[in-house]
Structure formats: structure tokens, C-alpha cells
Structure 1
Amino acid sequence: MPTKPFHWPGSTLLMAFIIALGTMGSLRAQTPSDATLMHSKNICLLFATDFGAFNQYWEGELLRENQTVATVHRYTSTTMAAIGVLDKLDFYVGVPYVTTRSSKPNGGKFAGVSNFQDIIFAAKYQVLNFQSEKGQFLFLTTVGYSTPISDYLSDYKPYSIGLGAPEFSARGILQYKTAFGLFLRGDVAHLWRGYTKAERDYYYNDGSYYTAWMDVPDAWNYEAALGLWCFSNSLKFEVNYFGLKSTSGDDIRPYNAAQPTNKVEVDRVGASIQYFLPRTGFGAIVYHNRVIEGRNVGKSHNTGIGVTYQFSIKKKQHEE
């Protein structure tokens, strides 16, 4: 396998998970890309299911219909854990199981796949916390790493369950929250990706490559969210934007399938509602997202639901 050089800009910020994770310790939502931290020695478990589909895709910048494979469906079941290591440091680990299929599999010639995707690790640290009577300003950073946990084939678009390459990420997060619960959050991240192996020894990527190893493009990620906490921080409403832009890559060629070397651009909007049951440790999340613009991706929409449970591992103190 060839060695891919990594470049480390001084102001590099990091990419982490997109999957939502809820907590109860401080009655907040909790993901590697939000501005919330758990108390130390608390653990939150997430069990979530996501349903997505698309029947159009961008071939480069041209929007086309899925005339061969009709509507492509994607189902994801995720188990994740968030661990409060310190009051300013959280650790995350998660594994998704993904199933893909088509509503019209071209006479049975193309079948979907099911397998575990990538194991994901991340750590989030609070760098700055400035509070006043009017509100709170936070700055956090996240680092993450993921790698395939099964031998799934990445070069099987649109049914492939992942990119099949290791990925390192770095993210910076800024949030301002008012005293009455309204918040505005923004973050930017960079993803460094490695190589993935295809089941062929030739491919075209703006030139001929006589190798099975495909160079997966690095990417920038941008996110923004506007939301409101209410009812003593037990209920949260949020609208959000997600953007992704590859730093290199090629376009899908006419009447050809996509491949991991493609230059991918995504503009996606979404909304979510989270509710936490006081004093029980349980919470729930419902969300919906839609891709509104893209390049070499499906014009997809997805809906997800999840259940969370948080508990403390601190030893109880007993009086003698």
C-alpha cells in the first residue's frame, strides 16, 4: 500500500461524528461536534436508527435520475458511548451497522449490502468558558479517528456502506448561549483520509492508475446551528446546516458509477428535537435532514430516532 503524506496546518481544526448523542448529566445534547460536556465519571449510551433514501444524484454538477437502480435506501443502526473523563474532557466511541438496498435492483444484477462500517473514536476538550449575566461563550476542540471494522467493499457505489479508508479529524467549535436558552453554534473541521483498496487493479481519476489502491480525497467540513433550550433544559429545538467540500478528486463520468476518488460537495439542512426525562437518565431524539445541493453525491434525505441513557460510575459515599 502506498504511503500518503499528511500536512498539518498550524490552524487546523477537526472533524468528528455526525451522529447525534444525548446525555442527561447536565440535561444537554452531547456530540463530539456540539459545545456540551458531561460531568466526569458519567457515561451515556446511545441506541439510534436512521432511515435514508435518494432517487436523484449529481454527476459532477449535473443532477440526474437513478434510472437503473431507482430509489436507493440506506438503514443505519448505531451504538455509541460518551464518557466524561474530566469535567472538561469527554471521550467517544461508536460503531454503526449499515444496510443498503435498491427499490428496483436492475433485474437482480445489483444487490445491496449489510455490515459493520467503521469504529469511531473522538475526544473533546473545553478550551474556554466565559460567562456573564447576559450569556455564555464557549470554545472547544475535538480530535477524532475512524477505521473500517469489517472488510466491506468501498468501491461499490451507490451501495457501499462507507469510504473504506482510515480518517483523522480535527475540529474547532464556538458557541454563544443567552441566559434564556437561545444559542448559536458554528464549527469548522478538516478530515485527513487515507487509501482504500478496490477489487480491481485499474481505475481512472483524471488519468489512468494501474493499482487497486484508491486515494480518498481529504475534505473540509462546516456546520452551524441555531437552537433553543426550554422547560428547565429538558427540551431542545435545533435547526442546522452541514457542509462538506473535498480538497481534490474527480467527477463521476457519464453513465459510470461513483467511486471513492470523487470530489464530493454537500450542502445539507436539518432539524432536531431532543427531550430528556428528569431524574430518570433517559432521553430521546428525533431528527430529519435533506441534501439541498451537491456534487457527486445523492440528493438524499434521512430521518432518525434515538434513545439515550446516562448513569454515573462514581462510588457512593456512605456514612459510618
Structure 2
Amino acid sequence: MKTFYRFGLVATLSLASLVTKAQTMTDGIFMAKGNLCGGVTYTNDSWSKYWEGTLYRENKNIGTLTTESVMLMGNYGISDRFNILASLPYVTTKASDGVLHGMSGLQDLTMSVKYRVAQTKSLSIIGSVGGSIPTNNYVADFLPLAIGMQSKTLFGRGILYYTLPSDLALTLHGTYTARSNVKVDRTMYYSDKGYFTNEMTMPDVVNFGGKFGHYSYRWQLEGTYDQQITQGSVDIRRNDMPGLCDKFDFTKVGFIAAYRVPQLKDLQIIVTGSKVLSGRNVGESTNFSISLTKYIDFRKNRGSEIPTGPICRPGDKNHTGSMTEEHK
């Protein structure tokens, strides 16, 4: 049994990343009215060393933990300043060493709405609300090989999107996520003390971050920064099994590179990467993904002056994502 407990570093970093991976949920870009942007993303996240509380260590019984996912995502423009977004990943986990088998299955459906509250020529102030719900009864209390946390969530997000000359852009975002309690298949668990119940109390989570770089209709190349702070102070105890309700914090940096291919009717190819620099009860994770996205205009009456596709730069009606000579 102790051997099982020694496997106990949670894959929370990977799981949290999968839930929030759809980039449009945290950026300042909107789809034009009547336009749908759909896509698929493959993500690979792996680590072999981790922080048990603040202790940096490795566990040779588990080797390298790898989490892979294929996620469908969509973003539809109700108007040029009001969008509906959704994502759903299929997740697979595996460990390179040890005797525990990985798990796989559909994870959580995440949906949100995003609204541009105010804007000037260079600055957009954006609000977003949404939530997630598990799509099936997967086992959450099997860390680090669980595919999700089985917690329903509700989040509110604020975004500032500021454009600069030469198609440079700065995005800042902050999110507060409330999480529901989770019922598990045992009648007692220990966090800060012993609890004789099958319901684990999940602490809320705060995320914030930003990105800066070039963003235009055709090209994107930006550096990213993200930080997560979990409310509460419960750490994984030495050689013990982690709980879903533990504190999972991290700081990571990364990049986003994207290009819309004219020869493929503006199919967008997106490549991202990130690396955890520091953390608490999480893995020292390396993450990369590749996405293919395409937008479809569903409007019956299309005019040359009406934007099509992504609204790239706020406040500039001549640079809204319609196929002008600049974009071709």
C-alpha cells in the first residue's frame, strides 16, 4: 500500500491546463457576428520531477507521467463583441514505470461567454463568465493517473487587451474559479485533519497571466506567463497520497506561434509550448500543443464592409479581420 501512496503526485497542472487550453477563452480576440471558429487541439504534457509541498523530488516508481489530450473547441459570434465558446477534451494518462495503469476518457465540458464591455482605439476591456461540468463518471480519486477532478466549476474572468503599433499586442487576464465538492469512493480522508465523509471540500482557484508579442490576421508570435494560486494550505504529506483538495500552485512561461495559410483557405495552424518554473504539489511540467482551426461565415447576406472571421484589433474598423488587401 505504501508503494501506491508513493505514486501520489497529482497531475493537477496537466488537468488544469486542459480545461483552460482554448486560447480564445483568455485573449482579446472575438469572432465576427454570424461566424464560427472551430478547431481541434492535440496536447502533450509530461514531467518526471515534482514538488511535494515545497520539497523538489522525483519518484522512480512512477518515472515520467505523460498526459495527452485531443480537444474539440468552438467560438461563435453572436455579435462582434459578444461570443460563446466551448471545449471538450478526450484525455489519456500513463506512467513510464511502476505497475499502475493509466486512464482515458472524455473529461469536462467547458462553456463560457465573452463580452467586450468597453473599448477605445487601442484598449479593450472584456468580461467573461463560464463553467465546466464532468461529462461522465470517471474516477477522480486516482491521482496522478486520473483524467480529471470531477468538480463542477463556475468562473469569472477579466481581460485587458491593448494594441500597439506594428501589430504588437499586450493581453492581461485574471480568473477566479469556484469549485464544487467532490464525492469519492471512500468514507474517510485526511487533509489538514481527518474527515469521516466521502465528500471532499474543494478549494477555489485564482489564475492570472498575460502575453505579449505580434498579433495580426495572418501571423501570431507571443510570449506567455501564467500563474495559479489555490486557496488553502494543505500539502501532500511525505510519501502520502495527495487529495483532490490539496493546494496546487505553479508559475510557468511559454509561447504561442500561429499562421493562417492562404493556400488552405486560411486554415490556421497554432503551435504552443510552456514550461513550469516553480510550483507546489505539482510536476515540473513541459507542455506542447498543435491546433488546426478554421472559421465559417454563416450569414446569408454578406457585405464587403461587414467583418468576416476574427476581430483582430479593437477600435479599428479597417482592420477587423475581413479579407482586405493587407490580409491577403
What does 1:75-154 correspond to in 2, within 5 Å? 75-104=68-97, 106=98, 108=99, 110-131=100-121, 136-154=122-140
Q: Does 1:310 align with 2:324?
A: no
Q: Percent identity?
A: 29
Deviations 1:230-265 (A, max 9, x none): 5xx301101001100011141001101222110111
- Corresponding residue number in structure 1 for 2:241: 257
What does 1:171-250 correspond to in 2, within 5 Å? 171-229=157-215, 233-250=217-234
- Corresponding residue number in structure 1 for 2:54: 61
Q: Does 1:272 align with 2:256?
A: yes
- Corresponding residue number in structure 2 for 1:288: 273
Distance 1:224 1:120 in 2: 21
- Given candidates 13, 18, 21, the residue that maps to 2:20 is 18
Distance 1:288 1:119 in 2: 23
**Counterpart code for 2:187:** D
1:20 deviation in Å?
Answer: 3.4
1:314 deviation in Å?
Answer: 0.6
- Larger helix percent: 2
The alpha-carbon distance between structure 1 residues 16 and 103, as it changes in their structure 2 partners (threshold 3 A), is closer
**Counterpart code for 1:254:** R
Task: State the TM-score, normalizing by the size of structure 2.
Answer: 0.84
Task: State the TM-score, normalizing by the size of structure 1.
Answer: 0.86
Unaligned runs of 5+ in 1: 1-14, 22-30
**Counterpart code for 1:84:** G
Structure 1 contact 37–90 (Cα < 8 Å) conserved: yes
The alpha-carbon distance between structure 1 residues 178 and 151, as it changes in their structure 2 partners (threshold 3 A), is same
Structure 2 contact 18–69 (Cα < 8 Å) conserved: no
- Corresponding residue number in structure 2 for 1:26: none
Distance 1:143 1:68 in 2: 41
**Counterpart code for 1:227:** G
- Corresponding residue number in structure 1 for 2:42: 49
The alpha-carbon distance between structure 1 residues 317 and 18, as it changes in their structure 2 partners (threshold 3 A), is closer
**Counterpart code for 1:245:** I
- Corresponding residue number in structure 2 for 1:12: none
Deviations 1:50-79 (A, max 9, x none): 011110111111111022111101101000
1:48 deviation in Å?
Answer: 0.8
1:316 deviation in Å?
Answer: 4.0
Alignment partner of 2:62: what SS? coil
Structure 1 contact 16–142 (Cα < 8 Å) conserved: no
Structure 1 contact 281–311 (Cα < 8 Å) conserved: no
- Given candidates 149, 152, 175, the residue that maps to 1:166 is 152
Range that drifts further, 257-266 or 236-245: 257-266
Distance 2:233 2:139 in 1: 19
Aligned residues: 286
Structure 2 contact 22–87 (Cα < 8 Å) conserved: no
The alpha-carbon distance between structure 1 residues 300 and 73, as it changes in their structure 2 partners (threshold 3 A), is same
The CA RMSD measured in Å over matched residues stands at 1.8
Unaligned runs of 5+ in 2: 1-16, 304-328
**Counterpart code for 2:87:** G
1:277 deviation in Å?
Answer: 2.4
